[in-house]
Structure 1
Amino acid sequence: MKDPNILPIIQDESWLEGHTQDIYKRYQRYQSAMEEIISYSGSILEFARSHEYYGIHFEKLRNGWIYREWAPNAHNLFLTGDFNQWDRYSHPMKRNYRGDWEIFLPYDKYKDKILHKGKVKVHVEADNGAYDRIPAYIRRVEQDPENHDFAGQLWFPETEFQWTDHDFSAENNKSHPLIYECHIGMAQEKLGVGTYLEFAENILPRIKAGGYNTIQMMAIMEHPYYGSFGYHVSNFFSPTSRFGTPEELKYLVNKAHEMGISVIMDIVHSHAVKNINEGLNEFDGSDHQYFHPGPKGYHEGWDSKLFDYGKLEVKQFLLSNILYWMEEFHFDGFRFDGVTSILYLHHGHTDFDSTEKYFDEGVDYDAVLYLQLANTLIHTYSENQISIAEEVSGMPGISRSPEDGGIGFDFRLAMGIPDFWIKTLKHKPDEHWDMFEMWHELTNRPKKEKTIAYAESHDQALVGDKSIAFWLMDKEMYFSMGVEQTNLVVDRGMALHKLIRLITISLGGEGYLNFIGNEFGHPEWVDFPRVGNDWSYQYARRQWSLADNEDLKYKYLDLWDKKMISLIDQHKVLKSEHAKQIYLDAEKKILVFERADLIFVFSFNISESYFGYEINVPTPGEYMVILDSDESEFGGFQRIDPSISYPTDDQNNIQIYLPNRTAMVLEKRKS
């Protein structure tokens, strides 16, 4: 019988018993913080509404515009912009005792000056000098096409966007997430930046047809450098204007919801761009307003600034940012970037070779608490919201609730799985693939912590590396993908591409993620316009015409992905218990397991096919192949007859023909 006085994570994970006090202290800090928030604001939802106080708003009661900014160490603040011909000193702001500055602009006086799309900045005089800055809570930022300068933009459209997604529910998608990771700008085939509207019209139907139920959108928060992939954020409350207007982003989300697709954001609260002109760095003249002072506030590997999660105002800023995106744009949740860096003062730059590393002085407990509060806010807003941690250290309880002793995420990204595949493809010939290692890498996760499995994401495809398809087939993808062509490199590559994706989705987690275009084996890498490539968009796009071309083999991989996703969704494989291994033959490189009452059979053998291969199945009956990677419609050799059934013998064994480099899924025929 379990002790109700011991946190559930300790009861479920015996290896953590030596850290009972550490985990309990983690929980106590969370409890105390929640009590303070409730005492201070009434609820965490109200606590996370600083974006309704700061920034520029129209106040109906006072009949005018109010602008507020938190800048406790600044000497003077002045609002400037189109409305006053960019006079830096005509509109001084007043400071209160908390370090908040504000200015009120009455409607009667400014109705012809404070206009929709007007440009604004705030002139800040402080210890670091005098700078024109972009307001911290600004809702839109636009870049001047001539001088490339960024400025805040007033956004007061005459009519509000009319949402039609009131009946949409993300409940089913959250319980069985099939995630399509995408970047709006690089989603089109043209040599240029794609838009929200183009994505809604051209790409959403592809995602729906592919069977994915969730979109994970990158690079939504404004960032000054396009090539940062959206990870050097400057303006946290501004959807990037590169892709269109806020209303056009809302249109995209609304249309996705009409299709039954959830939309989650790749949110970057792990760091911020260090730029002074565009971002938050030294906003009030100090190096410790939003960020840690000195070296502690700088990430050398990312060349960016690090938030001080222990500061009340910073917690409010970040929590308000989360609530803003959920309320204003109807996002259904978040994938938190760089959680390992957030959790540790060393940002994960250590070997996690002992459990002490999860609780020693290297842990930033202010950051742990912030993530607990962030997840509480998300799930208080709606229990159907989804939160995913990009976390590689294996921090215990990352995807368990704070009440269980955890951090509160719904899922953790299984970052070890793509690393395993890339290392295997880079360093091991096929005949040396280790089936025991493969099973371990794909199943090594706590039973009560949910995981998003993936074979590759944007990380594996970024310039300097290659996608799985490109590792497998490389230059042959340029010359040998015709349906009438015979090429051993392509035959091997397509076979393994299908096997890798099926074994990852069926064995690796409780959710699945695919990066845009990789479902059909998109060739090449991802490289955004920059000096080094002469500002080319050649590799910052997706070539959908490859998958649509009936004369090319990309169509086979695309169809395989559709059928694979459909089977996984139909049988709710990701909601089922962990897979049970039935058979592993290290020498012949065969792996068989059961999950969701389906039998998954994989042969990674490079040359041998087996007649009458015997498999012991859990229950007696007659079994049929319901998915076969070797079918001709998937570019295979049609070596398996789909009409054959496989009855069990007295020992619950079936005998099958198992070709090399083939995967099949069998289901017991219903009587």
Structure 2
Amino acid sequence: MNHGTTPAYIPPFDLYLFGKGQHWDLYRVLGCHPVEEEGRRMWRFAVWAPNASAVSLVGDFNGWLSDSHPLYPVGVSGVWAGLCEDVDQGTIYKYAVSAQNGATTLKTDPFAFCTELRPGNAAVVWPLDNHAWGDEAWMRERRATGLPLAKPISMYEIHAGSWQWAGHEYGQFLGYREMADKLIPYLKDLGFTHIEFMPLAEHSLDQSWGYQTTHYFAPTSRHGRPEDLKYFIDRCHQEGIGVILDWVPGHFPKDNWCLGRFDGSALYEHADPRKGEHPDWGTYIFNYGRHEVRNFLLANALYWLKEFHFDGLRIDAVASMLYLDYSRKEGEWIPNEHGGRENIEAVEFLRELNVVVHDQFPGAAMIAEESTAWPGVSRPTYSGGLGFTFKWNMGWMHDQLAYFSKEPVHRSWHHNSLTFSMLYAFTENFVLPISHDEVVHGKGSLLSKMPGDYWQKFANMRLFLSYMWAHPGKKLIFMGSEFGQWREWDCMSPLDWNLMDYPAHQGIMSTLRDLNRLLREEPAMHAVDFEWQGFEWVDLHDWQASVISFLRKDRAGNPLLWVFNFTPVVRENYRVGCPHGGHWREIFNSDAEFYGGSNVGNVHGAMARESEIPGGWGHYVELTLPPLAAMAFKPSWL
């Protein structure tokens, strides 16, 4: 056969699992795959379109004629399939899908592993198995260790298109392989444990940052081919850096070439706009109650973890999935079967997602961006939780940015903003996020939020990072914050790397480098992030001086003492309680001259004296508190 397609065999058990919504390798059944048929190399195409009247394969190879390469129904499964030898790797194609009313629309393969770069949107014939992995040691260790709850984690969130450019004009993006040569050494030097990529699945609109995903199985061609991304992740693992992917199962665009109204009917989305359309984003919402749609999403999550070795997924906009009335007014939403506002189908999908991922990939992290008070987001499903590994602590982020934006003279009246987070710090497994959302759309960069003159802005920035790293919870900051970018983030411009030539900006980087070192080397900083045993207040009541102090402790109870002065006033002979006598070494001081500070502190440490002070401590150290600074002390015997 030199022309056209023939029916393709798909095992009934694959179709049975798909119908149940439980085919974890569905992407190896649907989509485009090389096969050997009667000694000839061909490609099998399969697509789910149960309400279509006809489906055919079109592309440059047949002049985009919809009647020359038909696909055939596979039983009553709703799947159409066929074999074709007129294509090869690199061929672009779409499906011509005819609805029951006779209208034909060209649709991109939902399971395409590679697609055109915008403005094109066709699928590209590409093999799935295209990289020889060299990260066996990393993957073996990840499986053996299990959930990373007690590990040091500091994540660097990056938008791949605007971190650096390969040239001087927009669109001259770094390739995944170039990124490996530049980004990995950079993050190793700063001591970050993980990279978190904003969505890398293909999308047509640059300004959506990837959050309007059009092709769920295709890494964006802006930076290379799928095997190039695998190479990047492989290199990261070999250098000891984990990689997290931002994933968007909450909604998808209405563009007529992708998932929406795929076979002329509401297939992937709800037909009723009160459940199937997002009023804020102008997108469709997945029908989480349909087995095949759930399977599409579950298989997609597993695809990124299995085929690309990602170490976890950060799930975008979880709150929009959990509530039927999210961003809707009265009368614009449909209550659930119990009359409530909870989206029961989405809740069950998220629980199944987390159970399957944690079962299939021990050690992989599932991270929820959930902005409400939904209980048990990071608690096991068997106890009624959603089953995520971590949850972003949006309340902490809001309170800290509000507090630090205040002039120090006013901070005493907002002391609760500092301490309130500890009332709920252990109700979830929290990540403390300073993400892209906090440095865009007029909000200003992290450095620009800091009050005071030039010196105070940088001191406040170092203090903010120190408090963030000392606070219980895993850490995440957005690119540019590590050196103090003045300008808020713009996805159409690279970061202002010239700022790294200035000492004050170098000081922020040095501060963060040492905070990451403390996070990795001191078990008290990471081993007990989610239980009260890892934290103890020393003094949270000195609101008039805007000074707080607390202990971080490891599993054995060995402490680090953290002291924070949130004003520019140097405080001499300040007494801070501590649990033990003996000498305490100053192991960190954000006011050190090396960081750009005034070099006030306790370079020789402090000897704890035995005396009862308020708070019930039997010992205290007498310290000099530097201005707008954080200090950490460690008993000399540890």
TM-score bracket, normalised by the shorter chain, equals 0.7 to 0.9
Partner of 1:209: 189
- Deviation, 1:438, is 2.6
Amino acid aligned to 1:248: D
Q: Does the 8 Å CA contact 2:381/2:387 hold for their aligned counterparts?
A: yes
Task: State the Cα deviation string for residues 98-130 of structure 1 (Å, max 9, x = none).
Answer: 22111222xxxx2xx311111101111214832
Partner of 1:583: 539
- Deviation, 1:558, is 0.4
- Deviation, 1:522, is 1.6
| Mapping 1:39-438, distance limit 5 Å | 41=17, 47-60=23-36, 64-95=42-73, 96-105=75-84, 110=85, 113-126=86-99, 127=101, 129-143=103-117, 148-156=119-127, 160-168=130-138, 169-170=141-142, 171=145, 175-188=151-164, 190-192=168-170, 193-277=173-257, 279-347=258-326, 361-425=340-404, 430-434=409-413, 436-438=415-417
Amino acid aligned to 1:378: V
- Deviation, 1:198, is 2.1
Structure 1 residues 440 and 590, CA gap change in structure 2 (3 angstroms): closer
Structure 1 residues 471 and 321, CA gap change in structure 2 (3 angstroms): same
Partner of 1:638: 599
Q: Does the 8 Å CA contact 1:646/1:656 hold for their aligned counterparts?
A: no
- Deviation, 1:40, is 6.6
Partner of 1:545: 498
SS at match of 2:183: helix
Partner of 1:668: 635
Partner of 2:478: 515
- Deviation, 1:625, is 0.9
Higher helix share: 1
Q: Does the 8 Å CA contact 2:268/2:286 hold for their aligned counterparts?
A: no
- Deviation, 1:428, is 6.4
Structure 1 residues 622 and 309, CA gap change in structure 2 (3 angstroms): same
Q: Which of 505, 520, 525 in structure 1 is aligned with 2:469?
A: 505
Amino acid aligned to 1:141: T
Q: Does the 8 Å CA contact 2:203/2:210 hold for their aligned counterparts?
A: yes
Q: Does the 8 Å CA contact 2:21/2:291 hold for their aligned counterparts?
A: no
The two structures, once aligned, show a CA RMSD in angstroms of 2.7
- Deviation, 1:39, is 14
Q: Does the 8 Å CA contact 1:115/1:156 hold for their aligned counterparts?
A: no
- Deviation, 1:461, is 1.2
- Deviation, 1:426, is 5.1
Task: State the Cα deviation string for residues 511-549 of structure 1 (Å, max 9, x = none).
Answer: 111111211112211223xxxxxxxx3xx31233322x1
Q: Does the 8 Å CA contact 2:403/2:418 hold for their aligned counterparts?
A: no
Partner of 1:593: 550
Distance 1:235 1:39 in 2: 22
Amino acid aligned to 1:286: S
Q: Does 1:557 align with 2:557?
A: no
Distance 2:527 2:413 in 1: 28
TM-score, normalising length: structure 1? 0.83
SS at match of 2:610: coil
Structure 1 residues 649 and 446, CA gap change in structure 2 (3 angstroms): closer
Q: Which runs of 5+ in 1 are unaligned?
A: 1-36, 351-356, 474-487, 529-536
Task: State the Cα deviation string for residues 371-429 of structure 1 (Å, max 9, x = none).
Answer: 11111111111211111000011211110111222111010001122222333355666
Distance 1:243 1:348 in 2: 34
Partner of 1:31: none
Amino acid aligned to 2:464: I
- Deviation, 1:197, is 1.7
TM-score, normalising length: structure 2? 0.87
Distance 2:283 2:33 in 1: 30
Q: Does 1:624 align with 2:578?
A: no
- Deviation, 1:202, is 0.6
Amino acid aligned to 1:575: A
Q: Which of 476, 481, 488 in structure 2 is aligned with 1:525?
A: 488
Amino acid aligned to 2:466: L
Structure 1 residues 381 and 226, CA gap change in structure 2 (3 angstroms): same
Q: Which runs of 5+ in 2 are unaligned?
A: 1-12, 330-335, 554-558, 612-617
Q: Does the 8 Å CA contact 2:399/2:418 hold for their aligned counterparts?
A: no
- Deviation, 1:591, is 0.4
Structure 1 residues 291 and 220, CA gap change in structure 2 (3 angstroms): farther
Amino acid aligned to 1:646: M
Number of corresponding residues: 590
Deviates more, 1:93-102 or 1:387-396: 93-102
SS at match of 1:143: coil
Structure 1 residues 43 and 288, CA gap change in structure 2 (3 angstroms): closer
Partner of 1:439: 418
Partner of 1:472: 450
SS at match of 1:138: coil
SS at match of 1:325: helix
Distance 2:156 2:203 in 1: 22
Q: Does the 8 Å CA contact 2:575/2:621 hold for their aligned counterparts?
A: yes
Task: State the Cα deviation string for residues 134-175 of structure 1 (Å, max 9, x = none).
Answer: 01111111136xxx2311101139x83111001113348663
Distance 2:397 2:155 in 1: 15
SS at match of 1:592: strand
SS at match of 2:136: coil
- Deviation, 1:85, is 2.7
Distance 1:71 1:425 in 2: 53
| Mapping 1:10-29, distance limit 5 Å | none
Amino acid aligned to 1:652: H
- Deviation, 1:41, is 4.6
